[in-house]
Amino acid sequence: MLINNDTIIKDDNPLMREKSKSVKLPLSKEDRDLLMDMFNYVKDSINPEIAEEKNLRPAVGISAIQVGVPKRMAAVRLVDIDKNDNEIIHEYCLVNPKIISSSVQKAYLKSGEGCLSVLDEHEGYVVRNARITVESYDALQDKFIKIRARGYLAIVLQHELDHFEGKLFYDRINKENPFEEIKNALII
């Protein structure tokens, strides 16, 4: 499937508010191909030359609903730094992921969140859990996995899983006080 800035569904499309359905395993060829196309979008989007050539906006994740397919599938690829300043690359093609535990501590990105489906600016803190554990089938590894995520990875995973419920990041911004300080929150 051709996935680029023109084919990604925007937030004014009612489909973005629909709940996504679980995906039957083993994956059909159609579902696997779609997931790999989504993963390639995310991977290619951070290379400026490829992004310009293919009309891609930079991204660390994409959910199937964003390309018009209401299925619980998401591709994530991001580079993070561990506590020893080592670079870690997280790559997943998740199918039916679900959060099985989450921390009481909250977290947010100081610069706010963005989304391939949202073109307008929405300022404010998007408050999420600082740590989560996700269980999922991962098509890249071709097995069921458990991800213990904290910080940026946890935020990205929660953002993508919100899409399955028809939620967008700006739904989580405090309308009364968008930049309200959150006590004891992990600020990224």
Tell me the per-residue pLDDT of 35-46, one tens digit each, with 9 for 90 and over.
999 999 999 999
User: Beta strands 186-187 and 73-81: pairing type?
Assistant: unpaired
Asked if residue 113 is part of any domain, the answer here is yes
Instruction: Give one DSSP letter per residue of 121-172, joined into a string.
Output: ---S-B-EESEEEEEEEETTTTEEEEEEEEHHHHHHHHHHHHHHTT--GGGG
Residues with Cβ within 8 Å of 181's Cβ and at least 6 positions away in sequence, in order, are none
Structure tokens at 126: 């998007």
160 as an active site residue: the answer is yes
CA distances in angstroms from 60 to 24, 38, 119, 182, listed in the order given: 25, 11, 16, 25
Q: What is the pLDDT of residue 83?
A: 83
**Domain assignment present for 79:** yes
Q: Which domain holds residue 150?
A: 14-187
Tell whether 145 is covered by a domain. yes
- Does residue 5 lie within any of the structural domains? no
How far apart are the C-alpha atoms of 157 and 39, rounded to whole Å? 14
Q: What is the pLDDT of residues 96-123, one digit of tens each?
A: 999 999 999 999 999 999 999 999 999 9
Q: Which of 135, 160, 180, 181 is catalytic?
A: 160
Q: Are the C-beta atoms of 97 and 136 separated by less than 8 Å? A: yes
pLDDT at 81: 85
This model's pTM is above 0.75: yes
pLDDT one-digit tens code per residue, 50-98: 999 999 999 999 999 999 999 999 999 999 988 899 999 999 999 999 9
Q: How far is CA 24 from CA 32, 73, 78, 81, 169, in A?
A: 11, 11, 27, 34, 27
* Total domains, the chain: 1
On whether residue 73 sits in a domain, the answer given is: yes
What is the C-alpha separation between 82 and 135, in angstroms, rounded? 22
CATH of the domain at 149: 3.90.45.10
Specify if 8 maps to a domain.
Answer: no
- Residue 105 tokens read as 């501590």
- pLDDT score of 82: 82
pLDDT tens profile 140-182: 999 999 999 999 999 999 999 999 999 999 999 999 999 998 9
Q: Which pair of structure tokens corresponds to residue 142?
A: 């071709």
pLDDT of residue 89: 96
Residue 9 within any structural domain of the chain: no
Answer whether residue 67 is part of any domain.
yes
Q: What per-residue confidence (pLDDT) applies to 33?
A: 98
